[in-house]
Amino acid sequence: MSDLFLQPQYVSVESDGALYVPRIYGQQRADGTWEGWIEFHPTGGGVVRVTDRETTQPNRAALEYWATGLEPVYYEGAFTRSVAVPA
């Protein structure tokens, strides 16, 4: 089961006239480490875009720390790497 770690308040990505809000999710792996990825949710509804794993951290606290340090330019690159998930 994945956990929502962060939904930045003032970050959004615009593409083709649609506005997307990023949400950072994480999940513990079988070896005890944590992986994190980003989901981009369109504010007007529609298909969510999801990245592959963006990071692997040794523990939950490290993943939280990683998530809080992301800058807007990182989200732009992650959005480019993301793919639309079929509804």
* pLDDT tens sequence across 2-57: 888 878 876 777 777 888 999 999 999 999 999 999 999 998 888 899 999 999 99
CA distance 59 to 79: 25
pTM of the model: 0.87
Give the H/E segment covering residue 15. Answer: strand 13-15
Which tokens sit at 38? 């980003």
List the beta bridge partners of residue 57: 34
Task: Give residue 75's identity as a one-letter amino acid code.
Answer: Y
Q: Rounded to 5 degrees, what are φ and ψ at 46?
A: 130, -160
